[in-house]
Structure 1
Amino acid sequence: MKAVKSGRKVCTVEQGALVGGACTHTATIPSKALRHAIQRLLDVQQDHPEMRAELARHTTLKDMMRVATTVVSKQVQLRTTFYERNRVELVTGRAKFRDAHTVEVTEPRGSVELLHADAFVIATGSRPYRPAGVDFRHPRIFDSDTILKLRESPLSMIIYGAGVIGCEYASMFRMLGVKVDLVNTRDRLLSFLDDEISDALSYHLREQGVLIRHQEEMVSVEPHDDSVVLQLKSGKRLKADVFLWANGRSGNSQDLGLEALGIAVDSRGCIQVNDGYQTSVPHIYAVGDVVGAPSLASASYDQGRFAATHIVEGRMEHKLVKDIPTGIYTSPEISSLGRTERELTQAGVPYEVGHAFFKSLARAQITGRTVGMLKLLFHRETREILGIHCFGDNASEIIHIGQAIMAQDWPGNGIDYFINTTFNYPTMAEAYRVAALNGLNRLF
């Protein structure tokens, strides 16, 4: 869209029958829609306990998946109109570079079309990493793409991999009453988060009934007709109805003809790019999950726009994605922006902490969503906001208030903004004022 609105002639090659990619069809949109449907079911059961048994008996996983399918269809329709309205040619097929300025597209019926361009943007995304020795064809073994095809809720589940995807699905299936073993290859959950937030997530998952097993490594997965058995290096053997592999993703860079052009790809299929999202061939760019971290839909959107800006104007805007919020859709949600306490301590930065616990906020008491907190980290001397960490209902929305202030130039990005600003009452936004006051009270 950035390129075509700048006057360039643009063609998009998409191998799927419908536009939208993994974000729309197999990852972000369907999983978050499913989570919302599960949460709504729980809310109704909580508000009407007399209907709990009947709702549980008559509402199936398939019913909730149908909600996700509806959202996906709406997103596909919306995105398709973007191409049509902006006169972007859309070619369905699989593209491969024939030379540095030509791709050959193999269309579904086998015909081949050659397309020539001055510049290319590779945005092929990623897929779940599948290790050798795990039979993903077995009906009881899933990855984060195929789990969305599950139609009946199992009684028990093993999730191997406790990254963002693993934690989100552990939370979702536990809300459905599934007995969940969450196997983590590391010593704590989501170690990139602030320690206090990571600890809160661990506590609440365990409180909900998820059994978390840290520092474990898989030896084998044994599928049976009625179960799956996971053998771990520690000697443990876990048994469940289904097994979900959620340990890593691979960039979709295979069979694109990159090797012949000298474009570097790492062991996980991620394409190496510079700050302008250029590969080693300057007019060929790569963006999104296929370049690796941060592997967020929000970041991928911006990266595509920045690559187009560099193509059209020769200007780099990568600095705009230096500080982007992380949204994790467990229950409760997590969102984080900026540096953590651990990072600030290691860097010798004199910081202070301000907390606002949701249980003390009138709006949270009204809605009944009292689990969670907002945490502000700020410089003791300059009062600049250094990090924002939120755990609780609507955390991924709440974070953006602080993000707007952090993005301001000094002195507009200080914690005093929240003291000197009037917030609607009662609101969750008021948490910023409470946290700011709490932190400033620690100064002396």
Structure 2
Amino acid sequence: MKSYDLIVIGSGPAGEKAAVKAAYFGNTVALIEKEQAFGGAGVQTGTLPSKTLKETALYLSGIYQKGVFGIDKDLGRETGIQDFMYRKNIVVNTMDKIIKYNLEKHGVTVFQGTASFIDKNHVKISGETSETIYGKYILIATGSYPYHPKNIPFDNERIHDSDSILNIKKFPKSICVLGAGVIGCEYATIFAAMGIKTYIVNNKDEILTFLDKEISKALVTQMKKRNISILFNNSIVDYHIPDDPDQNLNLTLESGEILQVDSFLFAAGRSGNIKLLQCENAGIKTGDRETIIVNEMFQSNIPNIYAVGDTIGFPALASTSMEQGRIAVTHMFKTADLESLADIFPYGIYTIPEVSLIGLTEEKAKENGIDYNVGYSYYRDISRGMIMGYPDNGFLKLIFESKTKIVIGVHIIGHHATELIHYGMAIIREKHTLSHIIGTVFNYPTLHNLYKYASYDGLGNLAGKKIKKAGEQFIP
């Protein structure tokens, strides 16, 4: 029987980084992947494909350039689904090769097949042939899959989840997205950018409830400008799929209204991908939505078995999953280089426009009894924003303590928000004040000047000299 210091199950962001780090420190590592393609949801069905489609939609639609330079882009022919999927396929296929090469370069032994526990140290691999291997430590990084409510008749043709939507063969004439979380909002804005009539059905009265409410409302405003209809406080109670593929789906809403659309996307939840592992054979405790329960070191109740990434639930981000994998390896092999996950990390929502945040929302600051103030700056008011054409009336919002002027929250909606947030992360981690930001020199013209002008605005607000209000229009 083959024996390894570490067996990693899954080649997604968490699994790959953990396997490579353990091998780098001289340990023997085996990685088991049940799919033919590597990278898990991060590469194959989630993070990178959807973000690539977002950039493709921006390019093909030209929505950020229309009228800005005096002419509009013309592709010279009708855009087809092949154009839409072209870059996504290149990115996915290239990353698959990069991951395989990275594992090979570090000497990780790769097994293709489905993993299942025999006991806490032995894993069976079922593929073209069956094999059992031994691991001193085992890391579960099997990711997640789209949750399928029993009442939804998924057919992967017109009724989709967030995996099958990536394989559509033609553009829908219209689409309904159920769920206003990150996945639902991202896909809704992508389809709307391509000129597809889009509906969002949401059982709450707001979208992305973890956002600062001002940012959430601003995103709703931009969605409506893109012809997205959001049906708040509603749900779908019945689905009728006609035999004729040219006829619309009939979706009966809780309100009694019947929504007729060409396609439907369910985007309201995912579950841990652990069904095939037979965790009970190893005595592993599991939680809600098929997740594995772990401690702060990502160790399960079985000391030699760890779990990371989507399979342990929140926050289920590719960025945090990679670090979780590395941290788990630190504790297994006492590498003493990365002990814990950063307590502050950014969130990026790749909608059109993008949204990104770090630190406290205004609502959380109120809840915590903090004496705070805010400062705003707008893309349209700074030189780089003028050059770009004030895309989506984007803005940056700083939240800071009134007495110390220390920044405690950064919230951005607009083009490149997910890139701009990282300076905000440094500000909050280092407990910088408005004065620190004002005293920083940025390249000119760049969008980073949003931070400086928001700081000046915040100082003006403290002095009772309100410079502008959120959403206030200014045309130079």
Equivalent pair of 1:228/1:242 in contact (CA under 8 Å)? yes
Report the counterpart of residue 70 of structure 1 in structure 2: 90
By how many angstroms is 1:6 displaced? 1.6
Equivalent pair of 2:62/2:72 in contact (CA under 8 Å)? no
Q: Between 95-104 and 264-273, report the one with greater CA deviation.
A: 264-273
By how many angstroms is 1:50 displaced? 6.8
Q: 2:115 aligns with which of 74, 95, 99?
A: 95
Q: Is 1:258 matched with 2:276?
A: no
| Deviation digits for residues 205-253 of structure 1 (CA, Å, limit 9, x no counterpart) | 0111100011112212211232211112221211100111111111101
Report the counterpart of residue 380 of structure 1 in structure 2: 402
Structure 2 CA distance for partners of 1:137 and 1:97, relative to 1, 3 Å: same
DSSP-derived class of the 1:95 partner: strand
Report the counterpart of residue 28 of structure 1 in structure 2: 47
Amino acid at match of 1:349: I
Equivalent pair of 2:399/2:408 in contact (CA under 8 Å)? yes
By how many angstroms is 1:435 displaced? 0.8
CA distance in 1, matches of 2:189, 2:265: 13
DSSP-derived class of the 2:132 partner: strand
Report the counterpart of residue 212 of structure 1 in structure 2: 230
Equivalent pair of 2:293/2:312 in contact (CA under 8 Å)? yes
CA distance in 2, matches of 1:424, 1:314: 39
Q: Which residues of structure 2 form unaligned runs of 5+? A: 1-19, 464-476
CA distance in 2, matches of 1:246, 1:252: 17
Equivalent pair of 1:275/1:316 in contact (CA under 8 Å)? no
Report the counterpart of residue 143 of structure 1 in structure 2: 161
Q: 1:352 aligns with which of 349, 373, 383?
A: 373
By how many angstroms is 1:350 displaced? 0.9
Q: 2:248 aligns with which of 227, 232, 241?
A: 227
By how many angstroms is 1:18 displaced? 2.0
DSSP-derived class of the 1:7 partner: coil
Equivalent pair of 2:287/2:293 in contact (CA under 8 Å)? yes
CA distance in 2, matches of 1:77, 1:442: 52
By how many angstroms is 1:317 displaced? 5.2
Equivalent pair of 1:160/1:183 in contact (CA under 8 Å)? yes
CA distance in 2, matches of 1:339, 1:319: 21
DSSP-derived class of the 2:239 partner: strand
CA distance in 1, matches of 2:226, 2:73: 21
Q: Between 147-156 and 38-47, report the one with greater CA deviation.
A: 38-47
Q: Which residues of structure 1 form unaligned runs of 5+? A: none
Q: Between 368-377 and 157-166, report the one with greater CA deviation.
A: 368-377
After TM superposition, the runs of 4+ consecutive aligned structure 1 residues lying more than 4 A away are 47-52, 314-319
Q: Is 1:415 matched with 2:415?
A: no
Amino acid at match of 1:385: V
Report the counterpart of residue 343 of structure 1 in structure 2: 364
CA distance in 2, matches of 1:393, 1:50: 19
Superposition pairs of residues 140-179 of structure 1, within 5 angstroms: 140-179=158-197
Report the counterpart of residue 60 of structure 1 in structure 2: 80
Two-structure CA RMSD over aligned residues (Å)? 1.8
Structure 2 CA distance for partners of 1:316 and 1:276, relative to 1, 3 Å: farther
Q: Is 1:435 matched with 2:464?
A: no
Equivalent pair of 1:38/1:64 in contact (CA under 8 Å)? yes
CA distance in 2, matches of 1:222, 1:376: 47
Amino acid at match of 1:72: V
Equivalent pair of 1:138/1:223 in contact (CA under 8 Å)? no
CA distance in 2, matches of 1:361, 1:50: 23
Q: Is 1:424 matched with 2:446?
A: no
Report the counterpart of residue 131 of structure 1 in structure 2: 149
DSSP-derived class of the 2:375 partner: strand
| Deviation digits for residues 137-164 of structure 1 (CA, Å, limit 9, x no counterpart) | 2621111100111121111111111111
Amino acid at match of 2:151: G
Report the counterpart of residue 385 of structure 2 in structure 1: 364
Report the counterpart of residue 59 of structure 2 in structure 1: 40
CA distance in 1, matches of 2:73, 2:433: 49
| Deviation digits for residues 386-426 of structure 1 (CA, Å, limit 9, x no counterpart) | 11100000000000111122222x5xx22321111111111
Equivalent pair of 1:369/1:393 in contact (CA under 8 Å)? no
By how many angstroms is 1:291 displaced? 0.7
Structure 2 CA distance for partners of 1:202 and 1:256, relative to 1, 3 Å: same
CA distance in 2, matches of 1:223, 1:324: 43
By how many angstroms is 1:318 displaced? 6.5
CA distance in 2, matches of 1:78, 1:403: 29
Amino acid at match of 2:147: Y
By how many angstroms is 1:99 displaced? 0.4
DSSP-derived class of the 1:154 partner: coil
Q: 1:322 aligns with which of 343, 355, 366?
A: 343
DSSP-derived class of the 1:87 partner: coil
CA distance in 2, matches of 1:249, 1:361: 40
Equivalent pair of 1:220/1:230 in contact (CA under 8 Å)? yes
DSSP-derived class of the 2:462 partner: coil
| Deviation digits for residues 265-315 of structure 1 (CA, Å, limit 9, x no counterpart) | 223111111100011111111100111111111111111111111111186
Report the counterpart of residue 396 of structure 1 in structure 2: 418
Equivalent pair of 1:185/1:216 in contact (CA under 8 Å)? yes
Equivalent pair of 1:102/1:115 in contact (CA under 8 Å)? yes
By how many angstroms is 1:126 displaced? 0.5
Report the counterpart of residue 18 of structure 1 in structure 2: 37
Q: Is 1:82 matched with 2:102?
A: yes
- What TM-score do you get using the length of structure 2 for normalisation? 0.88
Report the counterpart of residue 120 of structure 1 in structure 2: 138
- What TM-score do you get using the length of structure 1 for normalisation? 0.95
Equivalent pair of 1:275/1:318 in contact (CA under 8 Å)? no
